[in-house]
Amino acid sequence: MWKAVRRGLLLSLLALLIAACGPGITAPPTPLPTAAPVATAVPPTPAEPTVPPPTPTPELAALVNGQPVYKADYERELNQYAASLSAQGIDPQSPEGQANLAQARDWVLNVLIEQVLTEQAAAAAGVVVSDAEVDAYMQQMIEENGGEEAFQAKLDEWGETYDDAWREVRAQLIGMAMTQRVLESVPTTAEQVHARHILVDTYDEAERILAQLQAGADFAALAQAYSQDVSTRDNGGDLGFFPRGVLVAPEVEEAAFALQPGQISPVITSTLGYHIVQVIERDPARPLKPEDLQRLQGQAVQQWIEGLWAQANVQKFVDTGAAQ
């Protein structure tokens, strides 16, 4: 299905330059001063060459490693986003609509840039989407939209041609293929720790609880009595098994992976408050829970995209209102 705002495609801007050259001209006969007029052929005068007008250079929205993103595509995507606001009952000219458009300008341009970065990465990796795959996907979309006539009407509404849509689908399929490669690179097993924690609001309270634990108090009982983490308090602060990269408080995660089973951390500070962590057991290669695998895969995709940006030479030529 098409999304309300779709990734745009680079327009094909091939122009045919036609040079119009007129035929040669033969001068009229020139009479000679003789009794018998004789027609003498005069060599044709070469016509002035017709110079075709220069082809206008399309305006650029950005250059991505030297590859253009055209302003026309950028503006078309913004117009489509504005149309999607109208479909949601939001007037693009209203304060709310203008606020949405202001936020979308930089996002839309970044989406177009990431599309180019992804295609460049696919070319470097040898990832190819065949014309047959694109044609099959296009046919599926035509059927889902009620046939060719209805699909063409939808394209007209979006201000796109069939070729625009074809190229856009190709870009999306390339993006899906590259994303799948990143997802498959994430292992399904990882080193994990089974830990529990106590979260309180002040450092002094955490120190008092830590002193009780060091004196032999039961960790689970103190967690049930004092912890502010309502999601784990009732089960004694148990966080279960977790790999690196999934906890909301990375400080707690770092402390847990530094402990051996049975050890208790000092007071740990995070944006949530003050923690005391105890590791119950460790597993060097434990299968990931589906939600943890999904989170790690999402992080891997995000890191891959950030890596593309970090290595790219990107020049933006439109003012999106965002800090450059």
Report the DSSP beta bridge partners of residue 240.
195
**Does residue 91 lie in a domain region?**
yes
Distance CA 112, CA 77 (A): 9
**Does residue 199 lie in a domain region?**
yes
Q: For residue 17, which phi and psi values (nearest 5 degrees)?
A: -95, 115
Claim to verify: residue 265 and residue 241 sit in the same structural domain? yes
Place of tokens 């004092």: 226
**Does residue 208 lie in a domain region?**
yes
**Does residue 296 lie in a domain region?**
no
Report the DSSP beta bridge partners of residue 62.
69, 316
CB atoms within 10 A of CB 35: 5
Claim to verify: residue 70 and residue 175 sit in the same structural domain? yes
Claim to verify: residue 215 and residue 277 sit in the same structural domain? yes
Claim to verify: residue 146 and residue 115 sit in the same structural domain? yes
**Does residue 7 lie in a domain region?**
no
Claim to verify: residue 71 and residue 112 sit in the same structural domain? yes
Claim to verify: residue 203 and residue 230 sit in the same structural domain? yes
**Does residue 27 lie in a domain region?**
no
**Does residue 4 lie in a domain region?**
no
Handedness of CA 142, 146, 152, 154 (dihedral sign): negative
Distances (CA, A) of 113 to 107, 119, 163, 173: 10, 10, 20, 16
Claim to verify: residue 157 and residue 177 sit in the same structural domain? yes
For residues 320 and 105, is the Cβ–Cβ distance under 8 A?
A: yes
User: What's the distance, Cα to Cα, between the start and end of the chain in Å?
Assistant: 33
Claim to verify: residue 166 and residue 113 sit in the same structural domain? yes
| Residues 155-164 pLDDT 10s | 888 888 899 8
Distance CA 296, CA 107 (A): 24
Claim to verify: residue 270 and residue 246 sit in the same structural domain? yes
Claim to verify: residue 228 and residue 278 sit in the same structural domain? yes
Residue-level pLDDT, tens digit, the chain, 324 residues: 344 333 333 333 222 222 333 333 233 333 333 333 333 444 555 555 666 665 566 799 999 999 999 998 898 888 888 888 888 889 888 998 898 988 899 999 999 999 999 999 999 999 999 999 999 999 999 999 899 999 999 888 888 889 988 988 999 999 999 999 999 999 999 999 999 999 999 999 999 999 999 999 999 999 999 999 999 999 999 999 999 999 999 999 999 999 999 999 999 999 999 999 999 999 999 999 999 999 999 999 999 999 999 999 999 998 887 765
| Residues 243-269 pLDDT 10s | 999 999 999 999 999 999 999 999 999
Output the pLDDT for position 161: 87
Structurally, how many domains does the chain consist of? 2
CATH code at 276?
Answer: 3.10.50.40
CATH code at 147?
Answer: 1.10.4030.10
Which structural domain range is residue 274 located in? Answer: 190-287
Q: Is the pTM of this model over 0.85?
A: no
Kindly report the three-state secondary structure assignment for every residue of the chain: CCCCCCCCCCCCCCCCCCCCCCCCECCCCCCCCCCCCCCCCCCCECCCCCCCCCCCCCCEEEEECCEEEEHHHHHHHHHHHHHHHHHCCCCCCCHHHHHHHHHHHHHHHHHHHHHHHHHHHHHHHCCCCCHHHHHHHHHHHHHHCCCHHHHHHHHHHHCCCHHHHHHHHHHHHHHHHHHHHHHHCCCCEEEEEEEEEEEECCHHHHHHHHHHHHCCCCHHHHHHHHCCCCCCHHHCCEEEEECCCCCCCHHHHHHHHCCCCCCECCCEEECCEEEEEEEEEEEEEEECCHHHHHHHHHHHHHHHHHHHHHHCCEEECCCCCCCC
Claim to verify: residue 180 and residue 107 sit in the same structural domain? yes
Claim to verify: residue 253 and residue 274 sit in the same structural domain? yes
**Does residue 170 lie in a domain region?**
yes
